[in-house]
Amino acid sequence: MASEELASKLQRRLQWEEVDGGLPPAPRAAPVPEPQLQPSAWAPTARADAELSAQLNRRLDINEGAARPRRCKVFHPYSEFPEFSRRLIKDLESMFKLYDAGRDGFIDLMELKLMMEKLGAPQTHLGLKSMIKEVDEDFDGKLSFREFLLIFHKAAAGELQEDSGLMALAKLSEIDVALEGVKGAKDFFEAKVQALNCASKFEAELKAEQDERKQAEEKRRLRQAAFRELKAAFST
């Protein structure tokens, strides 16, 4: 019995050598199951999809000419905000650096939260996000120094809602844009008033011209009516 089993093994060995050069057939690999994503792994995938979608949307806006331009990192506050004096810009820069706890040149949401609490006007999470969104020109979700200056520019120009968080920031800061270091801010307000006066004068002149044209048109209509009555009288 053992001899028959040995002969059978030798025969199979000879068949392998004749067919595959002496190598036994390789065993088949067991199929590897596909990894299943756990719910905890969905969040990074969703964030990646959202970022890709935002990039594609911006590219589409650029192609259609509807994208807001991103500003160069080189920023010259004195030339971009000529209505502010150098002293005022320096004071605002010191305030910005005071609350830039990360020393990265930006005030993020948590740093803005701390700033508003220090100023005595705490905001909700949505309120803070709304404050950033109103001046966030590059959509990065935080305030650069230029965007920080833009808050005070808008406040001086009357472009902020009276009850908004940004107006509270501008009013409660230790720097009074309307009084301190305002060589340019005072000129800015005077120029704004002058522009409004010029606009009012222009509107008044335009209205006077329209009234004169209406009066002339009414006189012409009355003359034509009188002429038709006179003509009818002679015809009868």
Q: Are 132 and 112 in contact (CB under 8 A)?
A: yes
Could you tell me which residue, 114 or 49, shows the higher pLDDT? Answer: 114
- pLDDT value at residue 177: 59
Same domain, 90 and 110: yes
Q: Into how many domains does the chain fold?
A: 2
Same domain, 197 and 142: no
- pLDDT value at residue 226: 77
Query: Band of the pLDDT at 181, cuts 50, 70, 90?
Result: very low
Query: Band of the pLDDT at 115, cuts 50, 70, 90?
Result: very high
Range 26-47 average pLDDT: 58
Residue at a domain's end among 152, 173, 194: 173
Output the DSSP codes for 80-120: H-TTS-HHHHHHHHHHHHHH-TT-SS-B-HHHHHHHHHHTT
Is 151 inside any structural domain?
yes
Domain at 122, CATH number: 1.10.238.10
Residue 35 pLDDT > 50: yes
Same domain, 219 and 169: no
Query: Band of the pLDDT at 2, cuts 50, 70, 90?
Result: low
Same domain, 192 and 131: no
Residue at a domain's end among 173, 198, 225: 173
Q: Tokens for 19?
A: 């067919």
Q: Domain range spanning residue 148?
A: 77-173
- pLDDT value at residue 221: 86
Lowest mean pLDDT among 34-43, 58-67, 213-222: 34-43
Extended beta strands in the chain, E state: none
Q: How far apart are CA 93 and CA 171, in angstroms?
A: 16
Residue 72 pLDDT > 60: no
- pLDDT value at residue 184: 47
Same domain, 139 and 191: no
Same domain, 95 and 143: yes
Is 14 inside any structural domain?
no
Is 25 inside any structural domain?
no
Range 170-192 average pLDDT: 58
Is 206 inside any structural domain?
yes
Is 98 inside any structural domain?
yes
Q: Nearest 10 degrees: CA dihedral of 222, 227, 228, 229?
A: 90
For residue 90, the one-letter residue type is: K
- pLDDT value at residue 225: 80
Burial of 138 (0-12, 13-18, 19+ CB in 10 A): middle
- pLDDT value at residue 168: 92
Range 174-185 average pLDDT: 53
Chain mean pLDDT for the chain: 76
- pLDDT value at residue 42: 56
- pLDDT value at residue 38: 59
Same domain, 87 and 152: yes
Same domain, 137 and 217: no
**136-167 pLDDT tens trace:** 999 999 999 999 999 999 998 999 998 999 99
